[in-house]
């Protein structure tokens, strides 16, 4: 089903989430599905529940010493793109594997070769851009949470319906008030007005800014020892409530080409195959520390 959705999005190119046909995605999970496609590098999320398809690219995964060179196909996925890639791999004697995943996730199109130069040659033959070391390149272009884009704004005033504060100690939302938010010297708040929700970061009593919700939660959790990493498997693990913004999550997913796993029992998210250099960059960008 998600493969059909990805093909539809590829031909549509851009639109609103509400425009996605219900026979391609369950209306109750369509936002999560589009978010997963964004994490995998297939679509770019835009403001006001809009999206646009990303151009097709062959993204190289981190290479293990002495191991093969591997890349995954990201972006738009049409029959023409798949046919071109298959022909290029066949012509160069390069392995092309389509890995079926869960029903709500698209198949992984994986290319494996003896060297990065062979991957680049296949991409060129297929007329698909090639991205060397995609995870590292993406993180190198990503601002730290401390400098994450934000828009200065006045404090919300008047009548509001709900006010929540992100608790650093509980790593979750707690009930708050507009008076508390107004008086706070720092903190991250979600406020429901009559017509919308706003994510508001306080960096001073009179200093407020709108910010991406995921970035705001990480800002509130700065220097918190909440992440873990297992050297053998390269598993990077963090609380679900601290799921990073799309560029960071995408870089972590591009260590394997797969979405992270969620453990409902522990409430934590795990990204696999994260090498030490990607771990160091991720910690530096997010501001989190290892337990």
How confident is the model over 74-109, as pLDDT tens digits? 999 999 999 999 999 999 999 999 998 876 789 999
Query: What was the pLDDT predicted at 195?
Result: 87
Query: What was the pLDDT predicted at 249?
Result: 98
Higher pLDDT, 165 or 22: 165
Helix axes 30-39, 2-12, angle to 10 degrees: 80
Over residues 252-263, the mean pLDDT reads 96
Q: Which residues is 290 bridged to in the sheet?
A: 227
Q: What is the DSSP string of 157-226?
A: -S--SEEEEEETTTTEEEE--HHHHHH-SSEEEEEE-SS-EEEEEEEETTEEEEE-HHHHHHHHTTT-EE
Output the pTM of the full model: 0.95
| Distance between CA atoms of residues 213 and 198, nearest Å | 9
Residue 275 pLDDT level (bands cut at 50, 70, 90): very high
Residue 131 has pLDDT above 80, yes or no: yes
Give the dihedral sign, CA 231/233/238/244: positive
Over residues 45-57, the mean pLDDT reads 94
Higher pLDDT, 96 or 159: 96
Residue 202 has pLDDT above 80, yes or no: yes
Q: Which residues is 122 bridged to in the sheet?
A: none
Cα dihedral 126/100/74/252 (nearest 10): -140
Over residues 168-192, the mean pLDDT reads 97
Higher pLDDT, 49 or 242: 242
Average pLDDT of the chain is: 95
| Distance between CA atoms of residues 36 and 5, nearest Å | 12
Query: What was the pLDDT predicted at 110?
Result: 98
Tallying the residues shown for the chain, one arrives at: 291
Query: What was the pLDDT predicted at 103?
Result: 65
| Percent of the chain residues past pLDDT 70, beyond the cut | 99
Residue 135 pLDDT level (bands cut at 50, 70, 90): very high
| Distance between CA atoms of residues 104 and 34, nearest Å | 10
| Percent of the chain residues past pLDDT 90, beyond the cut | 90
What are the tokens at 143?
């601002």
| Distance between CA atoms of residues 133 and 160, nearest Å | 46
Residue 1 has pLDDT above 90, yes or no: no
Residue 28 has pLDDT above 90, yes or no: no
Rg (alpha carbons) of the chain, rounded to whole number: 21
Query: 213: how many CB neighbours lie within 10 A of its CB?
Result: 14
Helix axes 30-39, 246-253, angle to 10 degrees: 60
Q: Which one, of 249, 258, 252, lies nearest residue 99 by Cα?
A: 258
Give the dihedral sign, CA 180/181/187/189: positive
Do the beta carbons of residue 31 and residue 48 sit within 8 Å? no
Residue 141 has pLDDT above 70, yes or no: yes
Collapsing DSSP to helix, strand or coil, 217 comes out as: helix
Residue 220 pLDDT level (bands cut at 50, 70, 90): very high
């Amino acid at each position: 089903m998600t493969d059909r959705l990805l093909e539809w999005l590829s031909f549509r190119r851009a639109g609103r989430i509400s425009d996605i046909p219900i026979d391609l995605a369950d209306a109750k999970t369509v936002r999560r599905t589009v978010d997963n496609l964004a994490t995998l590098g297939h679509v770019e999320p835009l403001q006001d529940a809009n999206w646009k398809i990303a151009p097709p690219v062959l993204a190289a995964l981190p290479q293990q010493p002495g191991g093969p060179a591997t890349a995954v196909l990201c972006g738009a996925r049409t029959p023409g793109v798949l046919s071109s890639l298959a022909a290029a791999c066949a012509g160069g004697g390069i392995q092309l594997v389509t890995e079926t995943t869960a029903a709500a996730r698209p198949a992984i199109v994986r290319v494996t070769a003896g060297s990065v130069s062979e991957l680049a040659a296949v991409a060129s033959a297929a007329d698909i851009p090639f991205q060397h070391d995609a995870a590292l390149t993406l993180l190198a272009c990503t601002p730290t949470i401390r400098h994450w884009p934000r828009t200065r704004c006045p404090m919300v005033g008047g009548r509001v319906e709900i006010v929540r504060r992100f608790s650093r100690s509980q790593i979750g939302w707690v009930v708050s008030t507009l008076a508390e938010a107004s008086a706070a010297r720092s903190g991250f708040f979600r406020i429901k007005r009559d017509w919308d929700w706003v994510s508001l970061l306080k960096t001073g009593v009179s200093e407020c800014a709108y910010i991406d919700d995921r970035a705001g939660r990480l800002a509130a959790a700065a220097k918190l020892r909440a992440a873990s990493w297992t050297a053998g498997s390269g598993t990077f693990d963090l609380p679900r409530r601290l799921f990073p913004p799309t560029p960071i999550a995408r870089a972590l997913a591009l260590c394997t080409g797969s979405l992270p796993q969620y453990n409902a029992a522990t409430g934590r998210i795990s990204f696999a195959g994260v090498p030490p250099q990607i771990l160091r960059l991720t910690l530096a960008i997010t501001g989190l520390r290892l337990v």
